[in-house]
């Protein structure tokens, strides 16, 4: 009986000690708060982990430009920190390896990028509007609610992308494809050919958006053929079609599309 009491006392003491350790650790964790953001530390983290997509100066590349006051996925600092930690599927990975200080410092640096003025743009935006119209861009792109929806929406594109990136896309669109972009050509069991942009794909089905904006959901096992045209894009190169001046005017027009403040 005495031995049972000893065991009980030992277990109780162990539970108490564990509880005290957990409480102490929780207290230390709760007490760890960033009192002041370190923008310089955030800049270093950005250059190491974010610049490959957003550019060393935050003006964009594969990822959108961050040198603007209004970020679509981060209207406030809490949302910005959430984006840094959780990422944005499918292009932006999670920042699970950042600690609390890192997230605060990164967020502070990203906010500081809004003070960097946009690149100067050669060309005339008014003339560029005419180039946009005559080149048939609205057949694939929506701009301020007008146009087709096959290609990316260009509303506010000047706020998301730098002028050099826009010029690159106009000249060589295949060189600037998003990582998740894939053009596919499917042949059904009935012999119908459907070509378009892959919207979604799993082990059994594939969803395709064609040039007319129609969506097709197909069972892959029932297809005669499915070609994945990696590196291909339905957008033509305008090099040799537009003059250098016209391309600069078109870039100026697109760069002027900065959305609503």
Write out 13-61 in H/E/C secondary structure: HHHHHHHHHHHHHHHHHHHCCCCCCCHHHHHHHHHHHCHHHHCCCCCCC
Please tell me the predicted confidence (pLDDT) of residue 3: 47
Last residue of a domain, one of 87, 115, 143: 115
Please tell me the predicted confidence (pLDDT) of residue 171: 94
Angle between helices 39-49 and 100-112 (to 10 degrees): 90
pLDDT tens digits in sequence order for the chain, 261 residues long? 444 444 333 334 444 344 433 344 334 434 445 558 899 998 999 999 998 888 888 888 778 888 877 787 888 889 999 999 998 887 888 999 999 999 999 999 999 888 877 778 889 999 999 999 999 999 999 999 999 888 889 998 988 888 888 999 999 999 888 878 899 999 999 999 999 999 999 999 999 999 888 999 999 999 999 999 999 999 999 999 999 999 999 999 999 998 654
Tell me if 208 sits within 8 A of 194, measured CB to CB: yes
What is the extent of the structural domain holding 85?
39-115
Give every CB contact of residue 9 below 8 A, 6+ residues apart in sequence: none
Q: Cβ–Cβ contacts within 10 Å for residue 69, how many?
A: 10
Please tell me the predicted confidence (pLDDT) of residue 12: 41
Please tell me the predicted confidence (pLDDT) of residue 33: 55
Q: Cβ–Cβ contacts within 10 Å for residue 117, how many?
A: 6
Burial status of residue 173 (CB atoms within 10 A of its CB: 0-12, 13-18, 19 or more)? middle
Same domain, 48 and 106: yes
Q: Which residue has the tokens 């459907």?
A: 194
- Dig out the tokens for 22 from the structure: 């957990």
pTM above 0.85, yes or no: no
- Dig out the tokens for 61 from the structure: 């590349």
d(CA 14, CA 3): 17
Please tell me the predicted confidence (pLDDT) of residue 260: 56
Q: Is the residue at 26 inside a domain?
A: no
Q: Is the residue at 14 inside a domain?
A: no
Tell me if 245 sits within 8 A of 253, measured CB to CB: no
Q: Is the residue at 78 inside a domain?
A: yes
Considering only CA atoms, which of 248, 90, 238, 244 is closest in space to residue 169? 238
The strand order across the sheet containing 205-210 reads 215-219, 205-210, 193-201, 183-187, 225-229
Same domain, 58 and 171: no
Q: How many domains does the chain have?
A: 3
Same domain, 144 and 100: no
Length of the chain, please?
Answer: 261
Number of helices (H) and strands (E) in the chain: give both, helices first: 9, 7
Please tell me the predicted confidence (pLDDT) of residue 133: 96
Element of type H or E holding 8:
helix 2-31
Same domain, 191 and 213: yes
| Distance linking the first and last C-alpha atoms of the chain | 78
CATH of the domain at 68: 1.10.760.10
Coil, helix or strand at residue 258: coil
């Amino acid at each position: 009986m005495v031995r049972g009491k000893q065991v009980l006392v030992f277990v109780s003491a162990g539970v108490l000690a564990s509880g005290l350790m957990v409480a102490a650790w929780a207290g230390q964790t709760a007490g760890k708060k960033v009192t002041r953001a370190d923008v310089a530390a955030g800049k270093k983290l950005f250059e190491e982990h974010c610049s490959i997509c957003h550019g060393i100066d935050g003006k964009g590349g594969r990822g959108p430009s961050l040198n603007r006051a209004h970020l679509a996925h981060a209207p406030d600092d809490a949302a910005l920190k959430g984006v840094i930690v959780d990422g944005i599927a499918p292009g932006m990975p999670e920042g699970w390896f950042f600690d609390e200080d890192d997230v605060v410092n990164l967020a502070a640096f990203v906010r500081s990028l809004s003070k960097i003025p946009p690149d100067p743009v050669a060309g005339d935006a008014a003339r560029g509007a005419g180039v946009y119209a005559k080149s048939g861009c609205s057949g694939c792109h929506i701009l301020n609610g007008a146009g087709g929806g096959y290609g990316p929406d260009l509303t506010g594109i000047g706020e998301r992308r730098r002028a050099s990136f826009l010029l690159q896309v106009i000249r060589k669109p295949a060189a600037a494809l998003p990582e998740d972009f894939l053009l596919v050509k499917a042949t059904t069991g009935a012999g119908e050919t459907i070509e378009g942009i892959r919207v979604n794909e799993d082990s059994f089905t594939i969803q395709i958006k064609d040039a007319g904006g129609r969506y097709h959901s197909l069972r892959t096992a029932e297809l005669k053929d499915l070609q994945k045209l990696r590196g291909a894009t339905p957008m033509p190169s305008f090099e040799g079609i537009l003059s250098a001046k016209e391309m600069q005017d078109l870039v100026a027009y697109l760069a002027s599309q900065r959305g609503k403040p």
